Copies of this chain bind each other. A is one copy, B any other.
Amino acid sequence: CSASRSREWAHHGAPMFADLSVREMKAVRDYLHGIPEMRLTEARGKSLKKNSILLMELHLPKKHEALKALDHGHAKPPRQARVIVQFGNQSQPNITEYIVSPLPTPNSHVVKTFKSNRPVRFESRPITNVEYSHIDAILEKIAAKAHKLLFETTGGFSYSNCSDRCLTFSDIAPRGLAPGERRTWIMLQKFVEGYFIHPVGFEVLINHQDLDPDRWTVEKVWYNSMYFDSVEELVEKYESGKIEKMKLPEHDDSDLYSTYIPRGHSNTPTNIHGPKLVEPQGHRYHTDNNFVEYAGWSFAYRVRSSAGLQIFDLRFNGERIAYEISLQEAIAFYAGDTPAAMQTKYIDAGWAMGTSTYELAPGLDCPEIATFVDLYHYFDTDKPVLHKNALCIFEMTLAMPLRRHFNSDFQGGYNFYGGLDNTVLVVRTTSTVYNYDYIWDVLFYLNGVVEVKMSASGYIHATFFTPNGLHYGAKVYDYVLGNLHTHLIHYKVDLDIAGQKNSFETLNLKYVNFTNPWSPKNFIVQSKLHKTEHKTERSAAFRFGKKFPRYLHFYNPNEKNKWGHQRGYRIQFNSHAHSVLPKDWREEKGISWSRYPLAVTRHKDSEATSSSIYTQNDPWEPVVSFEDYIRNNEDIVNQDLVAWVTVGFLHVPHSEDIPNTATPGNAVGFFLRPFNFFDEDPSLSSKNTVIVRPGRAGKPKVQRWTPEVVGHCVTDQPFVYDGTYSGV
């Protein structure tokens, strides 16, 4: 179809991928609340024994239906919502997911099952605010019993009636050791600015499986590297002098340690503003709700409440490159010496990381010139929640040429100089999962390259220091250990390279050795391309620790570029990831995707995600298991392929992680790069190129397609370039 029609259809189809509107959310809520058999009550009601909506979000259309709208301009399929309902008020409490449709005036709901056909264990649900309020209550009781110990240990902090000497807590997941358990290690912390790095050395294991919080129990307590079966036991031994009393150093309110307050010296002034981005001639991208255009690019986006940012129907010059690029999961698996540290295996979709998209600050989180977009989530709430400025879109310069060449004449002059600034469109959200702040970026380059990137910031997850802890991290404060952990991020990349039918091959080099054709007594050794076509899913699932191919090439076997090469894209990794646990070891079953830096599968609507919101609290028998997708080892030649990409890094905390992990060096991701997809670099369409050639009498002649003067904010001087390099 023509480029303009293709653009029109892309625009037409984008609303299929838009997150639920406030109106839609309210309609779905009201519809379900109107079904008597469900007996739904308010999610925020105090009881755990109730039926209520936990989460609702857009339910994606089936791909083949969406493609009818995107590729043929057909009517869009009706919008649908996915709703998670927790039925606590049942003899057999359960979690059920429904597809509710059509929006915005729903009149039907069907149960959504999982590929595994496993029911969702009630114990695997995320923790809600209400459950936290009960945890707070039991902690109050525990802390009251141990008041003296806590007060003496911390130098005056307590859990209740504490004004500026309060304690707070962090809870660890997974919550137990086997399916069906719901018992959580909780560690107490000083409730000061940056409390995540103020553990006080008191950890407690609470069994909160029962829906009656009065029946919750304390199963273990950890204090001063010792385990106790109850708070009472600890307190008795503490009071009677049977155990050593531990005492934190005097709390110093003037110690800025965990805060952002500036301190220290700098050679140059920082009390003035640094460099800023401006757009002297305005935005160069278009947005219309969730539809975005920039240079040759167009795409739709949404932020899934469960797992975060997704890009759909990504096209360049009207041709689809990917149907979907979306964040699936983020995990951080820890090691340490305290029970909380040893137990910590955060699987962040289980914390609804897609909803923790808090406000982005202009000039800090995104440049002032960014377009800030509000998001609405419906999770653990009774009405849609507005997240103001939770996503931003902006164009930036990387202060670097996309291409440049100085064509010397080697005589002090030149034939020509050419350059093009490397500008890029960025779509950004963040997820603040308690202590940690993930920054999620997708970057769109002028030359058909996409970069997907996670940058890490926020507080480290830290535990109480013990000497043995040094095997698992570094001391970062008087009484604090920064625990080693590995971050792994999983992405789904449904490439559709110039159509849905794609194949996958890898490229390596092999030395060849032959007689030198122009000097037969000599030999030539050189590298030769060695291509391997991967014909089945298993052969395209690369394990960490095994050799990884040099080039990963997805191509359309039916389409060639002008020079006869199969049109393709390649994935290029920017990652330092490794696996986090031995294969099949307990919690590892829940993150089977993490075995593979890359796995390639056949697309299936039933394999929409590699993880679920339930994995955190039941990683042992997950309802969504990525391994299932490749187990049938399907043929992947000339098929609709999906690439599943794992990136990450080992994080051994160090003093410079205080107060926060900093982004420089802590970004991982991957590039999607055209590889004979186009006939030449498509950024040639940018009229921002400048060419300089020597003119008459050596005066440079500038050829350009943009205004000569940028504007007074940047400079009121025209561009100058001379090109000569002459003897003096």
Contacts and interface: CB of A to CB of B under 8 A. Distances in A.
Interface stretch (A32-40, A102-110, A246-254, A649-657): A649-657
Contact of A369 (B220, B275, B279, B317): B275
A186 to B, nearest CB: 13
Nearest 6 CB-CB pairs, A to B? A364-B419, A260-B418, A264-B685, A713-B713, A272-B281, A403-B660
Contact of A276 (B262, B585, B714): B714
A721 B362 CA distance: 8
A294 B281 contact: no
A478 B564 CA distance: 10
Contact of A688 (B274, B551, B706): B274
16 contacts: A129-B410, A177-B519, A193-B407, A270-B687, A272-B281, A277-B399, A359-B417, A385-B725, A385-B728, A402-B663, A422-B663, A477-B563, A484-B509, A655-B680, A655-B681, A656-B681
Contacts of A563: 474-478, 655
A282 interface: yes
A474 B678 CA distance: 13
Interface in A656-693: 656-665, 671, 673-692
Query: What range describes how many residues of A lie at the interface?
Result: 35 or more
Given A3-B265, A518-B205, A676-B655, A401 B688 contact: no
Interface stretch (A93-101, A322-330, A388-396): A388-396
B387 A725 contact: yes
Contact of A457 (B222, B403, B458): B403
A431 B394 CA distance: 32
A227 B518 CA distance: 7
A722 to B, nearest CB: 6
A368 interface: yes
Given A274-B421, A286-B268, A405-B432, A676 B689 contact: no
A557 interface: no
Given A339-B518, A386-B728, A561-B655, A406 B432 contact: yes
B550 A650 contact: yes
A424 B685 CA distance: 30
B265 A685 contact: yes
Nearest to A705: B271
Interface stretch (A81-89, A447-455, A536-544): A447-455
Interface string A98-126: 00000000000000000000000000000
Interface string A702-728: 010111001101110001111111111
